[in-house]
Structure 1
């Protein structure tokens, strides 16, 4: 039997997130594999996978902040806001020559902090039960609503100028639900020259870093994080007694223990190191909102 756990995988370009899940299922010999947070085929980097019972933890990973490294090309707008789409608008070389580094920095500053962002129409957001990108590919018009996201860091690491474009290598820290393609599009629009994404790599999801991830060729030999280790990285770890662990597994509350939580949730860990589940405050008590199978560690 495959042990439950959280597996960090470095996705290569050209594959969908589902492709990576399929390969992981084959390599580990189990159907019970899921992922937290899709990456486009063009993108590379960190995918957080849940294996067996640890798939229950993925819901607590999805909403974590993320870090991306990316390359934005200013001077060209595309139909998909990235390099996979067709160029729909290109700025004149004379116009590009007048764009200053200071103007670019001002545009980036305006896209930092809490911002209102309209996702790309080729995103996986559902519209009337169907993915937006499916509707676009079917030739339908798609209008997505703006949403508030947080960009806590938007740093330019390098600026390279050609005769008809400007390439920016950037690093972005952002809240879940932020579209880096949309940042590229909106920066280009603000400068009046268009923009799109030519490269994207996710390097962090919450406490998990791509430096600790395995590649696809190493899946079979990979050692996933135990549910307890992963949950304690995501949430406050809370060691409980064996009696309390038994009570939580049977749906009972832990009376007058809510004071032990710093936030709303915690990872309850039994004395033997097994993850009991995720607990939350209920008045002055603690109650389990997700239990792990008892074999899970």
Structure 2
């Protein structure tokens, strides 16, 4: 039996995203499983997995905004921008609450920041983390990152507990480091949890124990992208779509008359 649809998984700490996919493949005995956005091993929280035919929706789901809750430690710099890395510097700090809150709320909007060295972004055909592990010097590329809906849960003299939403390709580790730099003391991610991907929340996610017990509540492909316009297709139109004659709408979901999913956007399934 092949599963087709979305599966929401609550990733535990100390696992890579690839580990999660491999574990689900083993539990479900299915090869066609992918994910829609990497989570660092340090992080916990929501991973949206695509199973079977739903793997063809990956490009759409990867582009969805994401929300996180993060605990930041100030007064320290590491090579990975989180607590797992090599400590480069420690600076004693005793920040006032007002100063720290103001600095946090100031880091909202669009920024052009460097991608972390320990990330999967590629330079010269090689992933940056490979350069980092080899100790080779490389110029870090800059990219547009967007952070909004920043909410402060609590702060201390050298830490902050914050939640935020961000766009595709935005690094919370970079945000934490930039917060530290704006205060002149450095900063790293100590804890990170992904709360949301698009319209899907971690409160609906499963643990591995649920999957092993046979609970696999898939989100059907018809509900995967609720913001996409839907179009019903008759037999003649289905044939046209199959021949590559797609209606002139940039992003649509096509259905058979019996409500079976046929095509997403300009990609025939």
TM-score, reference length from structure 1: 0.85
The partner residue of 2:121 within 118, 122, 125 is 125
Unaligned runs of 5+ in 1: 280-288, 293-297
Distance 2:74 2:252 in 1: 44
Deviations 1:157-191 (A, max 9, x none): 11133xxxx22110010101110011111110110
* Contact 1:206 1:234 survives alignment (8 Å): no
Distance 2:114 2:209 in 1: 37
Report the equivalent of 1:239: 232
Deviations 1:66-107 (A, max 9, x none): 100110111111121101012221113xxx23x222322332
107-116 or 172-181, larger mean C-alpha shift: 107-116
Alignment of 1:172 onto 2:164: yes
Alignment of 1:216 onto 2:208: yes
Report the equivalent of 1:43: 43
Residue 270 of structure 1 and its aligned partner are, at CA, apart by 2.4
Quick one: structure 1 residues 216 and 52, their matched pair in 2 at CA, closer, same or farther if it must change by over 3 Å? Answer: same
3-state SS of paired residue (1:31): coil
Report the equivalent of 1:295: none
Report the equivalent of 2:257: 271
3-state SS of paired residue (2:224): helix
Deviations 1:42-88 (A, max 9, x none): 10111111111110101111111110011011111112110101222
Report the equivalent of 1:197: 189
Residue 143 of structure 1 and its aligned partner are, at CA, apart by 2.4
Unaligned runs of 5+ in 2: none
Max Rg structure? 1
3-state SS of paired residue (1:37): coil
Quick one: structure 1 residues 89 and 198, their matched pair in 2 at CA, closer, same or farther if it must change by over 3 Å? Answer: same
Alignment RMSD (CA, Å): 1.7
* Contact 2:9 2:49 survives alignment (8 Å): yes
The partner residue of 1:226 within 214, 220, 226 is 220
Report the equivalent of 1:90: 90
Report the equivalent of 2:68: 68
Residue 148 of structure 1 and its aligned partner are, at CA, apart by 1.3
* Contact 1:249 1:276 survives alignment (8 Å): no
The partner residue of 2:198 within 185, 206, 211 is 206
* Contact 2:97 2:156 survives alignment (8 Å): no
